[in-house]
Amino acid sequence: MKKWMYPLSLIFLFSILTAMIVPEGAVFGSHTDWLSQHAALAETIRDACLEQHTLLPSWIDLGGGSNGYQFAYYGFLRPDILIGCLLPQVPMIHILIYYMLAVYLSSVLLCYVWLRGENISPILSFAGSVLFMTAGCMFHMHRQVMFVNYLPFLFLALLCVRKKKIRWLPLCLCLICLSSFYFAISAFAAVGWYWYRREGNSFWKDSFLKKYIPCALTGAALSAALLLPTALVLLEHGRGGGKLTFLSFLELVGPNPVLNNLLFNEYGMGVTFLCLYTILAGLAQKKFRRDSILFLLFGMFGVFSWLLNGTLYARPKILIPFLPLVILHCVRYLGNTGLFAPEAAAQNEAAHNMSEGRSDRCALPLFPFAVIFPVGLLWLSQEQVPWILTEAGILFLLVLLSRTYSRRIRPAKARNRVTKNSSALLTVLLLLTAPVGMYLTTAGTEDWVNRSDIAPGFTSEELEDISMDPLYHFDSLLSPLINGNRLPKAGMGRSTMYSSVTSQAYSKLYYDTLMTPIRINNRVALLTSDNPFLLNLLGVRYLETSADAVPAGYEIIRQSGENVIAENAHALPRAYFTADIIAQDLFEEADPLEKLDMITGVTVVDLPQNTAAGKSDLEGSDNIPENMEPYTPECTVDSLPDGLTIIRNGNTYDISAEKSCTLKLRITNPQPGRILLLSFRLKNQTWDPIVIDINGIRNKLSGAFAPYPNGNSCFHYQFSSDDEEGIADLSVTFSKGKYEISDIQWHLYDQELLSAKRYKPVTLLSGRKTATVLSGTVTADEDGYLATSIPLQDGLEILVDGAPAEILTINEAFAGTSLSEGVHQIEIRFSPPGKAAGILISLSTAAGYAVFLAAGAAKLLQNKSKGRD
């Protein structure tokens, strides 16, 4: 029982803390990213795996249709996805919750096992495991899954190095890659540093090239089926990340006085002052100095995070794989002092002093507090500040008491074992009070998911009874962020997606050309909006929305409570034939509103330079339609709400909102049957984000320190209504802040023009082959073009009558081709670049690795047999 006391205590503490942090009625997950990305995509990826009968789905019908590897970061070959494929009737969100709890607890227990293997005392191994359990970065067990889900395999890799079971190391490194390949480079580096610190300089001669590099390459090659096609899709589209701005440049080259790469911050390691104290104190002792220098460099300079992040940005989250090494450093230092083991400390000190020719004794130093106290004051604005100051005070008092005790009582005359163990346990409890308190406080800032929020809108079972044409898209205005990555009905795609890897051309069309409002902090998420131009062009025939927010042109076909499914029979199909086109070079000469009009009325084709512009009558600039009509609404306002001040200076309005305020406007000259377009420029006069919501249409300008700033300085709104009165009332909600609005423009557009485009839809063929995205027949009455709303991407192939056709760029972002007059068989295929080669590399490496393991096992058995003889 004594052996199991501390592991059982860790399980008990983990259970208590988990129960304390999750509010009643909530689940172990966050509204931020966990629900909208990780949980939603887990379900979508599992469904794609089952539908395509593979663990590596090539195609996912998000974002108009995308390379499956654009979502590989969120779960391909992840253990919970594999479990989900075995249990298809269990919702993935439930599997994900229990999987992450298991990951969390197993990581804590493996931390304890690893620390004990490093000859750390049980009490200090327990303390280190609690420090690991309560580190700020563990916040992501219920938020950003990929930041932490690889940790059990990282500990297994460290144990392989510790126990010299190097033959199993490639498998552990492979599992790290499959769980979270983005953190693999940092995790590999952490394993390499640990190996180096164990073997010293001989590592570079004996192990680096002969063992470490082969293990790393084998681990990567085993996961090549995931890594190679993902790398190619990253090179094709790029990854949505922050640009190197002046502020981020300062992060790279300037020292960070707050040390938030190390301390408290859940987007860094999130350790507390106890770890910082041992890092600083370790500078004074030779055997701790190298680790202390490395960790301080990580904490003070962003250039290391920048390099480990692949030069995308200097985000300290990439340092999380080094957290176990910081914990090891901390408990090793404490175990080397007289605070927990006086006799051992005295013996270690005597041996060290003898080897160094010194006679001075080592005590817990006071100089780290010259850094700790000022740094603590820099965190005064944080919610954890009471615990931060408490920990600094406890540490300071314990160091003073330890120094006093070491002067008055010789370690050789230490108290009896029972008294000593009780004192050590009390000291540990005091040291862990603040980390546990900070953990609970940080968890209190989470935006937890209520059980009622898990599945907004119609369920998959309810949707099965609704007949929908797969030639169109099915989007949702109910919680667009949550539903953007979910495919609740088999065979029906979405125009939306939220992934770090997105087609830049599709994103540009979505937000720039179609002027779709940007709802959140970044432009990475492509979220649907009540934008009639967007819904029409992207073929959103079916729309999930609330009964009181049905866009113009849509008719309700199913209702459940306050939610409805509405249909617009005039939306463009995903594939159609047209001869009404305009050349891309002519399109680019138009201003933004003219472009919006053009792309709605005709099809934009990037024609080869040696090709005529076709039979369109829109080739001359004099024939370009001008349907955007300037408009001056006559507005009345009863009174300004309390807390809102609006000062007009010519065409500029200075807005000052002390809180979120809603202003009601009445338009006395409404225009029935017309789409009302509004745009204005916004200049933020604070560091905070700005949100302006008008009639439920939300626009946001991200704050100055947003990780992925959206740059949304021009807000666009489109209002449409089937009401006979037209748009007569505007409800404008201003977020708190100070900002300037200028260049206000109003325009009108006839709703009937949305259905004016001439085209013939493709007739879909029943059945769908694995590599086929779309197949059918189309009749061309004259020479023209096949247009689709499938984003153009590497690996896409269009077959016309069985022969490969030249792919053209349609409507700035989509794939299409030319068609001659007649009836044609159309087939659009997709194969992810690098997938076949990656699978071949993985299978070949797995076969070689299996032979290596079998040979090693046979040799081991042979040696044992000889030993018995």
Query: What are the tens digits of pLDDT across the range 400-414?
Result: 888 776 655 444 444
Q: Is 267 or 414 the better-scoring residue by pLDDT?
A: 267
Strand partners, 526: 497
pLDDT of residue 790: 95
473-476 vs 540-546, strand pairing mode: parallel
Q: What is the band of 622 on the pLDDT scale with cuts at 50, 70, 90? A: very low
Mean pLDDT within 357-380: 77
Q: For residue 742, name the pLDDT band (cuts at 50, 70, 90).
A: very high
Looking at residue 44, its pLDDT comes to 93
Q: Would you state the pLDDT for residue 416?
A: 55
pTM of the model: 0.89
Give the pLDDT confidence score for residue 406 in this predicted structure. Answer: 60
Q: What is the DSSP letter of 703?
A: -
Region 23-43 average pLDDT: 91
Q: Which ranges in 588-669 belong to alpha helices (H)?
A: 592-601
For residues 10 and 130, is the Cβ–Cβ distance under 8 A? yes
- Helix 92-117 vs helix 40-52: angle between axes, to the nearest 10 degrees? 110
- pLDDT score for 246: 56
Q: What is the pLDDT of residue 417?
A: 52
- Please check whether residue 776 is in contact with residue 569, taking contact to mean a CB–CB distance below 8 angstroms: no
pLDDT tens per residue, range 113-123 = 999 999 999 99
Average pLDDT over residues 780-802: 94
Distances in Å between the Cα of 365 and the Cα atoms of 294, 375, 379, 496, 752 are 20, 18, 24, 57, 79
Cα gap 298→309, rounded to integer Å: 13
Can you give the pLDDT at residue 339?
A: 65
Which whole-number Å values give the CA distances from 586 to 509, 577, 590, 606, 611, in the listed order?
17, 21, 7, 10, 14
Average pLDDT over residues 390-408: 82
**Token pair recorded at residue 841:** 């590399």
Under a CB-based contact definition with an 8 Å cutoff, are residues 297 and 349 in contact? no
Q: What is the pLDDT of residue 139?
A: 94
Tokens of 435: 């980390």
pLDDT value at residue 646: 92
Pull the structure tokens for residue 801. Answer: 């009558």
Nearest to 80 by CA among 41, 108, 53: 41
**Whole-number pLDDT of residue 625:** 57
What is the rounded distance in angstroms from the CA atom of residue 653 to the CA atom of residue 656?
A: 10
Bridge partners (DSSP) listed for residue 749: 675
Instruction: Decide if pLDDT at 419 tops 80.
Output: no
Do 27 and 451 contact (CB within 8 A), yes or no? yes
Report H helices in 203-245.
Answer: 213-222, 224-237
Output the six-digit token pair for 853.
């393991």
Residue range 536-582, pLDDT digits in tens: 999 999 999 999 889 989 999 999 888 999 999 999 999 999 999 99
Residue 449: its pLDDT value, please? 92
| pLDDT reported for residue 114 | 96
CA distance to 154, 302, 314, per residue, from 250 (Å) = 31, 8, 10
On the question of pLDDT at 38 being above 60, the answer is yes
Mean pLDDT for the chain overall: 88
pLDDT of res. 340: 65
Task: Let me know: does 737 contact 690? Beta carbons within 8 Å.
Answer: yes
The token duo for 779 is: 């009749």
Length of the chain: 869
Q: At 306, is the pLDDT very low, low, confident or very high (cuts 50, 70, 90)? A: confident
DSSP character string of 330-376 = HHHHHHTSTTT-HHHHHHHHHHHHHHHT--PPP---STTHHHHHHHH
Segment 242-268 mean pLDDT? 74
Whole-number pLDDT of residue 468: 93
pLDDT in tens, 44-75: 999 999 999 999 999 999 999 999 999 998 87
Residue 546's H or E segment, with its range, is strand 540-546
Please give the Cα distance from 348 to 414 (Å, whole number). Answer: 15
580 contacts 618 by C-beta, under 8 angstroms: yes
For residue 467, pLDDT beyond 80: yes
3-class secondary structure, 641 = coil
Residues in contact with 769: Cβ distance below 8 Å, sequence separation at least 6, in sequence order = 775
Pairing assessment for the beta strands 575-578 and 784-791 based on DSSP bridges: antiparallel
Q: Of the given ranges (65-74, 159-168, 379-388), which has the lowest mean pLDDT? A: 379-388
In Å, what is the CA distance from 716 to each residue of 117, 426, 712, 719, 746? 60, 61, 10, 10, 10
Q: Which residues pair with 807 in a beta bridge?
A: none
- 277 pLDDT above the threshold of 70: yes
Ramachandran region, residue 626 (left: φ > 0; alpha: ψ -120 to 50; beta: rest)? beta
3-state DSSP assignment of residue 542: strand
**Cα separation of 1 and 567, whole Å?**
66
Q: What is the pLDDT of residue 609?
A: 63
pLDDT at 856: 82
Is the pLDDT score of 801 beyond 60?
A: yes
Would you state the structure tokens that stand for residue 714, as one six-digit string?
Answer: 């021009």
User: Taking residues 387-408, what's their average pLDDT?
Assistant: 84
% of residues, the chain, pLDDT over 70? 90
Q: 308 and 365 in contact (C-beta within 8 Å)?
A: no
- Tell me which DSSP letter residue 763 carries: E
Q: Please give the helix or strand (H or E) that residue 859 lies within, else none.
A: helix 835-868
On whether the CB atoms of residues 485 and 40 are closer than 8 A, the answer is: yes
Distance CA 692, CA 730 (A): 12
Copy the structure tokens of residue 528.
């649907």
pLDDT tens string 349-365: 444 443 443 433 457 89
Q: Tokens at residue 697, please?
A: 């249409």
